[in-house]
């Protein structure tokens, strides 16, 4: 089956087309088309993502991404039905909160026709609600025009699947499995005994670790998003042998539970640099110490969860897994201390938000697909929870 997936939860507008041969998790996948537009350059100017601006960008970018993905998949201009008039009016109504999108989509449909797609998967949460709604409404409109079922996908389940995807197949996962999800909005430990069955055994009590990276970067005067910037400076400090002798705190490292806290770490950096003009070397040392502290806490809690719950597969997911120091630290630690555990880390281009992971998560829940009529009830949910999605 050909799957079309849509991701608009934050500042990436992405559409992919995957062909799936067989059932999840044994299917063989082929990426037929993959279109992603990052809004980072637009948001950088403002030092972060404003939901209303992200929404506006998704509205103007979705049809170009659809065209690009279908073009790459050679699925453009496949079949030309005339759209019934009442459907046209219906589409305008469905996209009334996305000014201009209905016209763009209907014009494209007129020229292109209906492609052979048998499932639409769309991120319904968690994320920025105004941004999520654009993707959700677009999915409903496509489903109506093409008469194709829709699956509402949890973005975090997408991050888990991105990590075990090798480009064609889902890697074999032994259960119980543990996922450490680290992104701009999440820091959590999720245990599961089978696919689609999730239990949260630890989480941050305040900021997510990606958020802490972004905030510390801002304190140091670095551009948004801060994760990659901190990572570059920290790597430079390690290479040059620069290390501060004033350690930052490792919040909650010995708390005995599996929870995290990153807001105190960010505040510690703020106090450390307050009213000071840091030299380049001092910035590098601070970035290194922050990255060391964050990675150490994540590693220690994850190792504790692995040992306590007899974990067989460890799956790292979310944008912060793009961090090369964290990848190296986890790889070295688990191969030495827990060689029995299989460690899965997403390939760097699947670490951050993308729509391939949404296609995989949607395919794993093919049995939850809704008819175009039923899909009208799908809501964007900013706080959509993974543990409430268990089958």
Interacting residues toward ligand KG4 by CB under 6 A: 10, 183-185, 210-211, 213-214, 225-228, 231, 318-320, 322-323, 352-353
Of 109, 183, 231, 364, the residue at the interface with Zn ion (CB under 5 A) is: 183
Q: Which is nearer to ligand KG4, 38 or 244 (CB)?
A: 38
Give me 96's structure tokens: 């009334």
Partner whose footprint covers residue 214, from Zn ion, ligand KG4, none (CB < 5 to 8 Å by kind): ligand KG4
Give min distance, CB of 153 to Zn ion, in A: 12
Partner whose footprint covers residue 185, from ligand KG4, Zn ion, none (CB < 5 to 8 Å by kind): ligand KG4
Contact status: 16 vs Zn ion (CB under 5 A):
no
Give me 340's structure tokens: 């029995």
Of 321, 353, 362, 364, the residue at the interface with Zn ion (CB under 5 A) is: 353
Q: Are strands 342-344 and 197-203 parallel, antiparallel or unpaired?
A: unpaired
Partner whose footprint covers residue 231, from Zn ion, ligand KG4, none (CB < 5 to 8 Å by kind): ligand KG4
Partner whose footprint covers residue 158, from Zn ion, ligand KG4, none (CB < 5 to 8 Å by kind): none
Partner whose footprint covers residue 188, from Zn ion, ligand KG4, none (CB < 5 to 8 Å by kind): none
Partner whose footprint covers residue 226, from ligand KG4, Zn ion, none (CB < 5 to 8 Å by kind): ligand KG4
Q: Which is nearer to ligand KG4, 33 or 185 (CB)?
A: 185
* Residue (of 357, 386, 320) closest to 14 by Cα position: 357
Strands (E) in the chain, as ranges, are 2-7, 12-21, 28-38, 119-125, 150-154, 177-182, 187-194, 197-203, 313-317, 342-344
CA distances from 384 to 118, 125, 199, 293 (A): 25, 5, 14, 29
Q: Which is nearer to ligand KG4, 130 or 210 (CB)?
A: 210
Q: Which is nearer to ligand KG4, 27 or 326 (CB)?
A: 326
Give min distance, CB of 243 to ligand KG4, in A: 19
- Residue entry with tokens 């609600």: 129
Stretch binding Zn ion (CB under 5 A), from 71-79, 87-95, 300-308, 352-360: 352-360
Site string for Zn ion, 262-281 (x = CB under 5 A): --------------------
Give me 86's structure tokens: 């009442």
Partner whose footprint covers residue 34, from ligand KG4, Zn ion, none (CB < 5 to 8 Å by kind): none
What are the DSSP calls for 226-266, one per residue? HHHHHHHHHHHHHHHT---SSPPP-TTTTSSSS-B--HHHH
SS3 376: coil
Q: Are 59 and 134 within 8 A, CB to CB?
A: yes
Q: Which is nearer to ligand KG4, 94 or 156 (CB)?
A: 156
Cα 14 from Cα 309, distance rounded (Å): 36
Q: Are 202 and 260 within 8 A, CB to CB?
A: yes
CA distances from 197 to 30, 311, 379 (A): 26, 15, 22
Q: Which is nearer to ligand KG4, 227 or 372 (CB)?
A: 227
What residues make contact with Zn ion under the rule CB under 5 A?
A: 183, 353
């Amino acid at each position: 089956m050909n799957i079309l997936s849509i991701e608009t939860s934050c500042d990436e507008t992405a559409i992919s087309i995957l062909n799936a041969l067989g059932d999840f998790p044994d299917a063989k996948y082929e990426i037929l088309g993959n279109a992603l537009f990052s809004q980072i350059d637009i948001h950088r100017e403002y030092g972060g993502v404003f939901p209303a601006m992200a929404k506006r960008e998704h509205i103007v970018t979705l049809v170009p991404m659809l065209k690009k993905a279908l073009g790459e998949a050679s699925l453009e201009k496949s079949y030309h039905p005339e759209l019934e008039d009442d459907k046209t009016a219906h589409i305008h109504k469905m996209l009334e909160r996305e000014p201009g999108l209905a016209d763009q989509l209907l014009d494209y449909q007129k020229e292109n026709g209906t492609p052979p797609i048998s499932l639409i998967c769309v991120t319904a949460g968690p994320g920025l609600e105004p941004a999520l709604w654009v993707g959700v409404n677009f999915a409903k409109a496509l489903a109506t025009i093409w008469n194709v079922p829709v699956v509402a996908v949890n973005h975090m389940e997408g991050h888990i699947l991105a990590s075990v995807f090798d480009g064609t197949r889902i890697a074999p996962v032994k259960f119980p499995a543990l996922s450490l999800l680290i992104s701009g909005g999440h820091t959590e430990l999720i245990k599961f005994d089978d696919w689609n069955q999730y239990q949260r055994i630890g989480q941050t009590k305040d900021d997510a670790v990606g958020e802490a990276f972004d905030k510390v970067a801002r304190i140091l005067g670095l551009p948004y998003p801060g994760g990659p910037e901190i990572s570059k400076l920290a790597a430079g400090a390690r290479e040059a042998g620069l290390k501060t002798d004033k350690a930052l705190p490792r919040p909650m490292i010995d708390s005995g539970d599996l929870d995290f806290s990153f807001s105190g770490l960010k505040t510690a950096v703020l106090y450390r640099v307050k009213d000071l003009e840091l030299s380049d070397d001092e910035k590098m040392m601070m970035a290194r110490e922050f990255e060391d502290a964050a990675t150490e806490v994540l590693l220690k809690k994850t190792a504790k969860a692995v040992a306590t719950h007899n974990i067989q597969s460890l799956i790292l997911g979310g944008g912060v897994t793009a961090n090369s120091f964290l990848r190296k630290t986890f790889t070295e630690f688990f191969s030495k201390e827990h060689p029995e555990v299989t460690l899965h880390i997403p390939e760097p281009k699947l670490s951050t938000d993308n729509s391939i992971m949404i296609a995989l998560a949607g395919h794993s829940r093919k049995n939850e697909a809704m008819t175009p009529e039923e899909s009208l009830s799908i809501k964007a949910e900013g706080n959509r929870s993974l543990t409430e999605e268990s089958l």
